[in-house]
Amino acid sequence: MPVTLLAICLGPAAPAGAAAAVLGQLGFGGPDPRWRAYGGRLLVAQVAEAPGEERLQRLLRVPGVRAVHDRTPGRRSAAPARVPIGRTAFGGGALPIVAGPCSVEGEAQVLAIAEAVADAGADALRGGAWKPRSSPYSFGGLGEAGLRLLARARERTGLPVVTEVLDPGDIDEVARHADMLQVGSRNMHNQALLFAAGANPPGRPVLLKRGFAATIEELLLAAEYVELGRLAAGHDGPGVVLCERGLRSFEPSLRYQLDVGAVPVVHATSPLPIVVDPSHAAGHVEFVPALAAAAVAAGADGLLVEVHVDPERAWSDGEQTLAPGPFRELVRQVRAIAALRPGAAAGGAAAGRQP
């Protein structure tokens, strides 16, 4: 039987009995598998039918209730969400390009790369202050020092910063320095991190990477944890961007198999923007431009590309990292492809910083 999924947001000054009063209005007298509480700020519930206007108003009149959202798939706005970043936005026809090193190695390195990608037409700077690594002996990032260097690069170039957060305890610090938080592929199923990232105090948007063995449905459900975190914190506007970065398969010629088909499927089933990371999918620098072109032709809402001024000496992922010259050519090529997409003439699908 179809159910309605409700998210009831409680304000910070909600009285102690607010949650019980809401559950009573919904017909729940105690613990029940059809409802779940997230701290003291959010209740989610499955109910048999959509609440009518009168019932909805009764819920809104419960002291402490801030908002009620119908989260049932198919009932939310079908209009593509726009998630701002710097002078552009993911979704709505633009093609933001986020570029930079796999990891921050030092001040001279990150400033040189930031200037190079800005000059080539990138819209935002990516770079890892913390890095999840398969081997515990591999370089894991500079931590807070890396965040400060990314912030310095933003001051120098004007590029907003996108960087990964690994631990819920680091979210506040990352949100103070970055313009967008990234949850990586390995953490797509880390529900506590997803919710906390969405609830970051400044309301920074979240870039959520698809797990390398995850279905599209699992990716969308992971995004729902982020969106519920945002609602719980009072951030009601769009703030989640999905990222396709390739799936693990039996084929060894590429690091992962890029699921280009995920782009139109997500567009058909969700209002969330979806970008593509061709660098991690390729694993080899010579294949990155072709995968980037395929992603843009399929309708991707942006790209995430690894760039280094000296890829051969990069501390991580140098084999899949473009030098500034090839990156500039990639930007030229994908902007030309984006200009041919439906709606580009009227809406500026090739919009972005121009080299």
Q: In this predicted model, what pLDDT tens digit does every residue of 74-102 receive, in sequence order?
A: 776 668 899 999 999 999 899 999 999 99
For residues 280 and 185, state if they share a domain: yes
Q: Between residues 344 and 100, which one has the greater pLDDT?
A: 100
The CA distance from 105 to 129, in Å, is 9
For residues 49 and 96, state if they share a domain: no
For residues 212 and 343, state if they share a domain: yes
- 77 in any annotated domain: no
For residues 327 and 283, state if they share a domain: yes
For residues 66 and 140, state if they share a domain: no
Provide the CATH number for the domain around residue 42: 3.30.70
Reply yes or no on whether the pLDDT at 140 is more than 50: yes
For residues 107 and 134, state if they share a domain: yes
Picking from 39, 70, 101, the residue at the C-terminal end of a domain is 70
For residues 53 and 153, state if they share a domain: no
Reply yes or no on whether the pLDDT at 346 is more than 50: no
User: 35-82, pLDDT tens digit by residue?
Assistant: 999 988 999 999 988 778 888 899 999 999 999 999 988 776 668 899
The whole-angstrom distance between residue 42's C-alpha and the CA centroid of its chain comes to 22
For residues 255 and 190, state if they share a domain: yes
For residues 25 and 97, state if they share a domain: no
Q: Which CA distances in Å does 121 have to 127, 159, 227, 316?
A: 17, 10, 30, 24
Q: Which domain covers residue 59, as residue numbers?
A: 4-70
For residues 30 and 147, state if they share a domain: no
Domain total in the chain: 2
For residues 61 and 177, state if they share a domain: no
Q: What are residue 233's phi and psi, to 5 degrees? A: -90, 0
The CA distance from 113 to 313, in Å, is 13
- 353 in any annotated domain: no
Picking from 18, 48, 70, the residue at the C-terminal end of a domain is 70
For residues 153 and 60, state if they share a domain: no
Instruction: Average the pLDDT over each of 48-62, 110-124, 202-216, 262-276 and give the range with the smallest value.
Output: 48-62
Residue with tokens 């992603």: 295
Q: Which of 33, 30, 53 is nearest to 45 (CA)?
A: 33
- 143 in any annotated domain: yes
